[in-house]
Structure 1
Amino acid sequence: MVRIIAGERKGRVLATPTGSATRPTADRVRQALFDVLAHAPWGGPALLDGAHVLDAFAGTGALGLEALSRGGAQAVFFETDRSALAALRTNIHACGWGERCTVYPRDVTNPPAARATPASLLFLDPPYHKGLPTKALAALKAKGWIAPNAVAIIETGRDEPLPFTDEAEDAPPCAHDLLAERQHGAARLSIWRLA
């Protein structure tokens, strides 16, 4: 069972799609992640309060909806899987946040030009081992989706190279700052301040 952990919609159970096309971030991992965001010297309440959130590879929307529950203002979700899209739309409706959320049923590595305020907080939880975080962020930046100095949280496989580092084969030259890194089971979370 996946639920919103804290904030305005604390305890709200989220619909999840059937099958193995999506891999919702476990409640304990989301709790650990949001604890880091809330208590790190570069984070705190100002990071979430009024944030414009972008949840790429959204699945159920658990990450973006958690951010809204904890003070985010607006959220944009990108997802292509039909059953995940159905669950995502059900969850947005159940939370009563239709006016605060926009869903794009398309590939985030080929987004349209931004029509909303650029995101200050981004969540990327793509399929593992496909090099998608750097591709998605490059595409989003090119189309105006990312605010200056935005924070991006990227989930990869534990044994997968960190994006934007010498470990990653497709790492572009950049000045992104790694703010924190945590491992939870098979998942590796890295948090970046985007240049």
Structure 2
Amino acid sequence: MRIIAGQWRGLKLAEVGEGDAAAHLRPTSDRVRESLFNIIGNQGGVSPIVEARVLDLFAGTGALGLEALSRGAKHVTFVDDGVKSRALIRENIDKCRAIGATRLLRRDATDLGQNDGAPFDVIFLDPPYGKSLGEQALTSALNGGWIAPNALIVWEENSPQLPPAGYFLREHRKFGDTHITFAEPA
């Protein structure tokens, strides 16, 4: 696993290894990550990643958020409640020397509570597949003021997902058994 593009292009990230079976670690492959960032960046004009505040829910290894930082995001908040995941995210933040531009929250993504800061412009969501946790996390994020009114939602699952109320489906892509849903405010 590596950073695909931007200031840290080619940087090798921490290996998941055998990991923790209970952690449900399933990092987004380099190929899928490259494709999804190409889709985001090829919408004409400046990429919505540039200068964005990014929320990475079910962050796992932090690869999606760190890729966004590498490509010009201003800040990334990682949310994961797994011990193994948080250790990997910390290691990857250190590898990128990105401590000042990141925040790591030990929190259940389906129960975020109230946001104590500015809302986020881009939301990455990569829950364990097939458990409806993505819907719960988005509801929690919307209710807690985590999502900016014009935010882009990028949702990875094993099947196409419907965006939450107030958002419309911008695009859907399939990569093997991975489905990426892109949603924007209606």
| TM-score, length-scaled by structure 1 | 0.88
Distance apart, 1:38 and its partner CA:
0.7
Q: Is the 8 A contact 1:15 1:87 kept in 2?
A: yes
Point out 4+ residue stretches in structure 1 off by more than 3 angstroms.
none
Q: Is the 8 A contact 2:64 2:124 kept in 1?
A: yes
What pairs up with 1:99-118 in 2 under 5 angstroms?
A: 99-118=100-119
Q: In structure 1, list runs of 5 or more residues that go unmatched.
A: 165-171
Provide the alpha-carbon RMSD of the alignment: 1.4
The match for 2:79 is 78
Report the 3-state secondary structure (helix = DSSP H, G, I; strand = E; otherwise coil) of the residue aligned with 2:113: coil
Deviates more, 1:185-194 or 1:108-117: 108-117
Q: Is the 8 A contact 1:54 1:121 kept in 2?
A: yes
The match for 1:140 is 141
1:27 aligns with 2:30: yes
1:149 aligns with 2:140: no
The match for 1:11 is 10
Report the 3-state secondary structure (helix = DSSP H, G, I; strand = E; otherwise coil) of the residue aligned with 1:151: strand
Task: Give distance in 2, aligned partners of 1:161 and 1:22.
Answer: 20
The match for 2:179 is 188
Q: Which amino acid aligns with 1:34?
A: F
The match for 1:176 is 167
Report the 3-state secondary structure (helix = DSSP H, G, I; strand = E; otherwise coil) of the residue aligned with 2:99: coil
The match for 1:59 is 60
Number of aligned positions between the proteins: 182
The match for 2:51 is 50
Report the 3-state secondary structure (helix = DSSP H, G, I; strand = E; otherwise coil) of the residue aligned with 1:182: strand
The match for 1:168 is none
